[in-house]
Amino acid sequence: MRSQVEVVCSNTGEKRNILPGLNLAEVANEFNVKLNSAILGAMVNNTLKELSYEVYSPKTIHFIDISHPSGMRMYQRSLFFVLQKAVKELIPGSSIRVEHSVSKGFYCEIDNCNQSLELPLIFNIGDKMRQIIAADIPFKRDKVLTKNVVEMFEELGYTEKAKLFRTRQKLYTSVYYLGDTADYFFGSLVPSTGYLKVFDLVKYYKGMLLRIPKRHKPEEVEDIEIQNKMFEIFQEYKDWVDILGVGSVATINEQVKKGYSSELIKISEALHEKKVAQIADKIYSLKDKVRVVLISGPSSSGKTTFAKRLSIQLKVSGLKPYTISLDNYFVDRERTPKDENGDFDYETINALDVDQFNKDLIKLLSGETVELPKYSFEKGKRFYDGTSMKIESNGIIVIEGIHALTPELTPLIPTEKKYKIYVSALTSLSFDRMNRIPTTDNRLIRRIIRDYKYRGYSALDTIRRWDSVRKGEDKNIFPYQEHADVMFNSALLCELSVLKSYAEPILYELPSTEPEYSEALRLLKFLSYFTPIADKEVPPTSILREFLGGSTFSYK
């Protein structure tokens, strides 16, 4: 009889000895694990594994469903693969492109489509997907020599994917198969297509919107939120990178290796400066009405640096900007509201002293001198150091913070006197046509570096809070983004190549004993595909300097 291995299941709190070689699906049955929805995978010693993974040594296992961020990503990737197979079967020679996340779904287009991408074809694609799902076809994974993978992808016409793997420093690569369809995905998939019953496919602009389940109500698809302004910004940036010929990680890596990183950085920064100047010109044209500029955006979107750069351009136009950061109006930490888990909720507007802010704002607009507060994140205390402000006749107040667009923040200011700006890092780069770069990953990496450098937080601290930050954004920021008069994309073409060298050492510090270790591994794998760029070419006024250091702007 084979010797048994000890397994701890954190879902049930049990410890058992099991036969070696059982896969995770069988282990879940052994422990009679019941989750709110289907088990999709598991964290094995804090590392994500598929249900086909076999256990041969002592493990601590935590099974996950779609409510877990990793489970949701598994579901989404698998659904992309089903969509790809459906399109290939219905339209031979075509290929699907998953462009970006918008309206609580994923915007997709079809290349080499010989039919009009209208409702009849979209219905047919959706029906074909349901047939594939009803057939419960397993997703199979195979280890293949990387050089053979490159050859296979070249034959299939997956040019960008082949370029990327040509430079991959791995002897073998995992390839997924769905029937006779093969592809690579930057993460795990669910066991079979039968797990993907909840989705929808609808017409959206020139393409389709792939709708996904709600994370905590997986029997329902997400409600569509109209995000026309967000979509237009995504498309504008995508068109721009396509014109430059650098729409994928592989093409950027090629440019870096050819010595063109300096030019790419300069082009990206020039686009930022042009956009900031255009916004300043618009505000100047409204100078007889607008008294307050409100700048909002999610965590680590670069709001502070954008506000400072906008202020410079406003001065060029002849206005005198006065900048106020809402971070300085945080209440003392002991007065900060707590969320449902008992943790401090810094994302709610109630974490700000809204009453004091409005008193100060009204006084400033009335021409009075006001002493402004400062906030110490290290001490969790608000304080006054004698800094005061008085608005001159040609002055305009620039306010930045995550709640700047929230109506409850400035209820006493008439709408016509406010100009609203939404800032976010809306990454339009992709690894290839099926593997997009989530904008949230871009912001998370920025925040990990900033928190470590300026706030004394480890990667563990930042990742542990990230889910709470995201929930706060969904509740307090994203509902108001379409209210903005203009949106600014703070993403830079080469920024992940620059951030790589800063983020990796911080992520490597996260201990494998922590549940957040799996997220650190995912981010490290994500960064491994980028050819690093030294930050010496990043100018001191760049938004990246807000996170890396070396900025000419003061953030105190």
CA atoms within 13 A on the CB side of 359: 9
Residue 432 · residue 158 · CB < 8 Å: yes
d(CA 24, CA 55): 7
Q: In sequence order, what are the residues at sequence separation of 6 or more whose Cβ sits closer than 8 angstroms to the Cβ of residue 248?
A: 160, 163, 164, 429, 430, 431, 432
Nearest-10 Cα torsion for 295, 297, 299, 302 = -60
Q: Which CATH superfamily, name and number, covers 5-65?
A: Beta-grasp domain (3.10.20.30)
Helix axes 495-508, 439-454, angle to 10 degrees: 60
pLDDT the model gives residue 449: 97
pLDDT tens digits for range 463-506: 999 988 888 898 889 999 999 999 999 999 899 999 999 999 99
Is the domain spanning 71-211 CATH 3.30.980.10? The answer is yes
The per-residue pLDDT for range 379-434, each reduced to its tens digit, is: 899 999 999 999 998 899 999 999 999 999 999 999 999 999 999 998 877 888 88
**Sequence-distant (≥ 6) Cβ neighbours of residue 36 within 8 angstroms:** 65, 67, 218
CATH of domain 246-548: 3.40.50.300
Q: Which of 439, 443, 456 is nearest to 506 (CA)?
A: 456
Please tell me the distance from the alpha carbon of residue 446 to that of residue 453, in angstroms, as a whole number. 11
From the CB of residue 305, how many other CB atoms can be counted at a distance below 10 Å?
A: 23
CB-facing half-sphere around the CA of 352: CA atoms within 13 A: 22
Residues 102-126 have pLDDT tens digits of: 999 999 999 988 888 899 999 999 9
Collapse the DSSP code of 422 into the 3-class scheme (helix H, G, I; strand E, B; otherwise coil) and give the result. Answer: strand
Which residues on adjacent β-strands are paired with residue 400?
A: 295, 325
Q: What is the pLDDT of residue 2?
A: 60
Domain pair 5-65 / 246-548, same fold? no
List beta partners, residue 210.
Answer: 106, 201
Q: What is the pLDDT of residue 3?
A: 82
Q: Are strands 370-371 and 41-44 parallel, antiparallel or unpaired?
A: unpaired
Residues whose CB falls within 8 Å of the CB of residue 353, separated by 6 or more in sequence, listed in order: 329, 330, 331, 382
Check residue 315 and give its pLDDT: 96
Q: Where are the domains of the chain?
A: 5-65, 71-211, 246-548
Q: Which residues contact 448 (CB under 8 A, 6 or more apart)?
A: 459, 462, 463, 503, 506, 507, 523
- Contact (Cβ atoms closer than 8 angstroms) between residue 255 and residue 291: no
Average pLDDT of the residues in 445-451: 96
Q: How far apart are the first and last CA of the chain?
A: 67
The pLDDT of residue 234: 85
Backbone angles phi, psi at 42, to 5 degrees: -155, 155
For residue 556, pLDDT beyond 90 = no
What is the spatial distance between Cα 503 and Cα 498, in angstroms, rounded to a whole number?
9
Rounded CA-CA distance 40/193 in Å is 11
Read off the pLDDT of residues 128-181 as tens digits, 9 standing for 90 and up: 999 999 999 999 999 999 999 999 999 988 888 888 888 777 899 999 999 999
Which has the closest alpha carbon to 399: 303, 522, 531, 488?
A: 303
Per-residue pLDDT tens over the stretch 60-116: 999 999 999 999 999 999 999 999 999 999 999 898 999 889 999 999 999 988 888
C-alpha–C-alpha distance, residues 53 and 55, integer Å: 7
Task: List the Cα angle 277/281/284 in 5-degree steps.
Answer: 135
Looking at this protein, which amino acid is placed at residue 284? Y
Q: Average pLDDT over the chain, rounded to whole? A: 93
- Cα separation, 62 vs 64, whole angstroms: 7
Give phi and psi for 426, each to the nearest 5: -95, 85
Nearest alpha carbon to residue 436 among 75, 80, 65: 80
Q: Which residue has the tokens 């304080």?
A: 383
- Cα-to-chain-centroid distance, residue 195: 25
Give the model confidence (pLDDT) of 329-369 as tens digits: 999 999 999 888 788 888 889 999 999 999 999 999 999 99
Beta bridge partners of 9: 14, 61
pLDDT at 472: 86
Find the helix or strand (DSSP H, E) in which 139 lies: strand 139-145
